[in-house]
Amino acid sequence: MQRQKEEYEKRGISLTFFEEKTTQPYLINLDVDAYRSMRFMYLLSKPNTVVGTKGDIKPMSLSVVDQHCSFEKSPEDIGEDGVDKGGIVTLVGGAGEVLHNGKKIEKGTRVELTGFDRVVIGNELMLFRYPGREDTTKEPPTADDAAREFQEALQSQDKAAMQALEAQKKQFEEEKAAWEKQKAEAEAARSQALTSATPEEVAEQEKKLKELEQQEKERLARQVNDQELRDVLPKINELKQIVHVLNRDVLSFETALKGTGGDGQGIPQVKVKVHNSKTDETILLDVFEFVKAYSLLKDEVAFLKNAIANNREYTSPQGHDPITLLFDNSFHVGSATSFPEYLLYNLETDPEESRMNIKNAVPPFNTIGKLEVIWTPLSCEDESQHNPDKIDDIDGPTDLIGKSWTYKLEIKGATGLPMITDLAYVQYEFLGELFTTESVEQNTRNPAFNYSHVHHVPCVTEEFVQYLQSHRLEFQLFINPYILDPPKDAISTDNPIIVNLLGGTAQVKLPYEELESQVKSHQVEKQALYEEVTFLRQAFKAATGQDPPPFNPLPKSTETETLSTPRKQLAEARSTDALLNA
């Protein structure tokens, strides 16, 4: 913890753990992730504090530029009442993007700050705090409130996007008002119908109410999708910068809408499509999974920057490599859909129809493989007691009502998939219950499931007949892709490309302990060589009767004067060793 404190202080960043009782004005980070929110403080105690890549405060964000902005603090001004009227903090716009309470600050613009003001530097969301000078009757804004303000500010900078948003909001309000009016009218009609209408009219009113409820669900779902898109787009743009500095430019990101369920109802879900151009592989991530990976990679960049700034080694865990982190996830790659109406007639699946097309889960919904699914009628629920001769012949759907219905479903496997799987499984829903095959770990494009399950209905009803006649069965295939060509270079301070991209100077660095060990080894060798030279000089004098020529060590290299002690000693020892062995 102490080392972290020292390293962050070199960037002008304080840890809240150590500075939470400060009386100085400061900025504190906000994050919708509660674990990351309010961890870092930026003290504004100097008359002029510059924020930027070379300033007094150097945030970790890749969106921060040199001379990004600055903060001026006026000197103390103690009045006759003993109250300090000075110490006013003023935000001054600079070369980078800065927002104050949702409004953009142009270069040179000056804004006096008050407690609980929101300040966005690049894409770093912060809250201004001034102990002793805040309105105690007000609650500080939450991270969610500040993030929402930031998103609306970003959209307002794009006039077309803002107009589209306003039109969408207006549409939502109109739809809501119309829905509430229709619902009120339908409920009134239903109440009247209960007293005077026929059963058919009552059923019709109930149907209208259900349709209105479904429309409201869809409207709310569209609002959720819209909010998710606004949340994730800035993170996608920042992650593009992150994978660039981590030398993983093969990755690209875009939003996508995942197809609706097998019943044809519902609103498509927002997903993030991650593409690896090197292997031409694509994965779909839930927004939650994407944001989790984004936060972790943002932390890795911070760790690397700190290590480079403090001349120490750091290597990201292998599991935190962007390619591994993003592609080592199970996702819904596609679905095979069938119409089960023929199951009303106790017919088995036609061999030519058993291999169904697997359609991509997102546009263009192209065929990405085959899934072999077989339905076989059984005479009883216990497969071991099955007798083919006891299966009833069904001429029409109504003939089945009142009888039992039993089928064995087999999911053999998938073939011809566009990606090699590391893990795969299939899910399907039948009569409102979710069924899942075992997850198979096979590095192949043709995973075999060999799944079977007996579905049994003791007494067929008219509702079950309608279910098979109108329902679509969707078999969803989930896979965890096999990482075919993992990166050869580590994400580390030893990687010169990454160090240069992060603004450091690439050089070979050895751990301090290894340097000390090498120094001691060379010192031992140096002493042994001196002893050997002394012996040779004595032998020379004994053999010739003359004094040996004087021994002058090499002059000290000017290159070692600027080196740290262990490096300097190591360089001198190597220099002496080279002279004695020449």
Cβ-contact 175, 219 below 8 angstroms: yes
Mean pLDDT for all residues in the chain: 85
Which residues of the chain register pLDDT less than 70?
Answer: 82, 155-180, 182-198, 201-202, 205, 259-267, 505-512, 551-582
Which among 491, 108, 553 has a CA at the least distance from the CA of 318?
491
* Measured distance CA(242)–CA(417) in Å, rounded: 30
pLDDT for 36: 86
* DSSP character at residue 342: G
* Measured distance CA(566)–CA(574) in Å, rounded: 12
* Measured distance CA(97)–CA(122) in Å, rounded: 5
Token couple for 94: 């600079």
Which residues are CB-neighbours of 528 under 8 A, at least 6 positions away?
A: none
pLDDT for 448: 97
Residue 397, CB half-sphere, CA atoms under 13 Å: how many?
Answer: 14
Which residues are CB-neighbours of 336 under 8 A, at least 6 positions away?
A: 356, 357, 358, 359, 370, 371, 373, 474, 475, 477
Strand partners, 91: 71, 111
pLDDT for 535: 85
* Measured distance CA(565)–CA(15) in Å, rounded: 31
CA pseudo-torsion sign 78, 79, 83, 86:
negative
pLDDT for 263: 40
Cα-flanking dihedrals φ and ψ of residue 341, to 5°? -60, -35
Q: Which CATH class is domain 331-481?
A: mainly beta
pLDDT for 262: 42
pLDDT for 476: 96
Cis peptide before 322 (omega within 30 of 0): no
CA pseudo-torsion sign 312, 313, 317, 322:
positive
Q: Which CATH class is domain 2-141?
A: mainly beta
Q: Tokens 């409130």 belong to which residue? A: 145
Break the chain into its structural domains and give their ranges. 2-141, 166-327, 331-481, 510-580
Cβ-contact 472, 479 below 8 angstroms: no
Q: What is the dihedral of CA 174, 176, 178, 181, to 10 degrees?
A: -140
pLDDT for 110: 97
* DSSP character at residue 360: E
Q: What is the pLDDT of residues 382-396, one digit of tens each?
A: 999 999 989 988 888
Q: Do domains 2-141 and 331-481 have the same CATH topology?
A: no
SS3 letters for 54-108? CCCECCCCCCCCCCCEEEEECCCCECCCCCECCCCEEEEECCCCEEECCEECCCC
Alpha carbon distances (Å) from 81 to 77, 78, 89, 131: 11, 8, 21, 19
